[in-house]
């Protein structure tokens, strides 16, 4: 998978840099600032080509290594693996996450459903389709069978607008989820060094488990909520994100290829019934 991703990056980069019309358009825009991701090397190549006539003929990667004052990393140093670091690396994980708003009325009703022992939130983000023709059949079947297996719990499942899921008394489906409001409010305005403030925020008491793909933003929200999770990484950095939470003891990680009803039900049972 990593090799395929690298190949696609290389091909797309070559396509962009060899497109003279695009290069001319960008040069004529006279940009003053260029912003790229650290892991996207193509951005550095693009900047070299755009700004070489202004005296930046040196290798941009070398320039970055020698003259950068700070690197802002969208990571949580308390979640990540301990490693040698430097004062130039500043962890700002979660700084772009929205602040929690009041929970909408329809969700308040679902979260306070009479007779329910708690709520399980299932959301695979905005890039993982749930429609039957695109979501792996084993995942779809496993989720529906798990909902049926735990009638005493309420399930909220974020699905696509065009998706059609069988009606079940304890299943609430929606195309939008107020995830931040459900997982808790992030007090980003407080200093990151004040741990008691960083982690002391309201979390909905009825939320018992978060089932997610392990996207970075979801993981950062999750770890601040203190809620247990079941993570099913789908691609990219999600595998590493999920393992980081698992090694802290607050999540169970399941593989998407081996995702079965039995495995999912077992993980849910352990998460919902384990008093730790």
How does pLDDT run across 88-143, given as a tens digit for each residue?
888 988 887 777 678 889 999 999 999 999 999 999 988 778 876 678 888 999 99
CA 111 to CA 109: how far, in whole Å?
A: 6
**Which residues in the chain show pLDDT less than 50?**
185-201
Strands ordered across the beta sheet of 119-123: 171-174, 154-158, 119-123, 207-212, 229-231, 251-253
Considering the four listed CATH numbers 3.40.50.2000, 3.40.50.970, 3.40.50.720, 1.10.10.10, the one that applies to the domain covering 105-273 is 3.40.50.2000
Q: What's the whole-model pTM score?
A: 0.77
- Give the per-residue pLDDT at 203: 64
At 97-107, the pLDDT tens digits run 777 678 889 99
Distance CA 182, CA 107 (A): 9
Q: Please state, in angstroms and rounded to a whole number, the distance separating the CA atoms of residues 173 and 165.
A: 8
Q: Cite the residue boundaries of each domain of the chain with CATH code 3.40.50.2000.
A: 105-273
Q: Supply 270's token pair.
A: 């352990």
Q: How many residues does the chain have?
A: 276
Q: Give me the phi and psi of 237, to 5 degrees please.
A: -75, -5
Q: Which residue has the tokens 């005296």?
A: 55
> Which candidate, 75, 58, 54, 55, places its Cα nearest to that of 66?
58
Tens-digit pLDDT profile for residues 52-66: 665 555 566 676 777
264: buried, middle or exposed (CB in 10 Å: 19+, 13-18, 0-12)?
buried
Separation in Å, CA 233 to CA 40, 51, 258: 22, 39, 12
Residue 131 structure tokens: 């429609």
């Amino acid at each position: 998978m990593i090799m395929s991703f690298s190949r696609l990056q290389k091909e797309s980069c070559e396509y962009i840099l060899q497109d003279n019309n695009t290069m001319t358009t960008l040069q004529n825009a006279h940009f003053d600032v260029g912003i790229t991701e650290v892991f996207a090397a193509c951005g550095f190549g693009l900047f070299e080509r755009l700004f070489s006539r202004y005296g930046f003929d040196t290798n941009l990667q070398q320039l970055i290594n020698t003259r950068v004052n700070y690197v802002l990393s969208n990571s949580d140093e308390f979640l990540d693996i301990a490693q040698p670091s430097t004062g130039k690396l500043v962890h700002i994980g979660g700084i772009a996450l929205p602040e929690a708003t009041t929970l909408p009325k329809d969700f308040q009703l679902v979260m306070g459903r009479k007779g329910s022992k708690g709520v399980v939130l299932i959301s695979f983000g905005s890039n993982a389709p749930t429609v039957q023709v695109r979501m792996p059949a084993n995942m779809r079947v496993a989720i529906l069978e798990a909902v049926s297996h735990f009638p005493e719990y309420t399930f909220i499942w974020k699905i696509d607008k065009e998706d059609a899921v069988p009606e079940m008394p304890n299943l609430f489906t929606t195309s939008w989820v107020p995830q931040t409001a459900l997982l808790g409010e992030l007090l980003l305005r407080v200093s990151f060094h004040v741990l008691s403030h960083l982690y002391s925020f309201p979390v909905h008491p009825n939320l018992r488990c978060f089932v997610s793909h392990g996207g970075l933003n979801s993981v950062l929200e999750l770890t601040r909520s203190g809620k247990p999770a079941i993570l099913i990484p789908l691609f990219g950095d999600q595998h590493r994100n999920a393992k980081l939470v698992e090694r802290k003891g607050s999540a169970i990680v399941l593989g998407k290829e081996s995702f079965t009803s039995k495995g999912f039900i077992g993980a849910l049972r352990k998460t919902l019934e384990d008093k730790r």
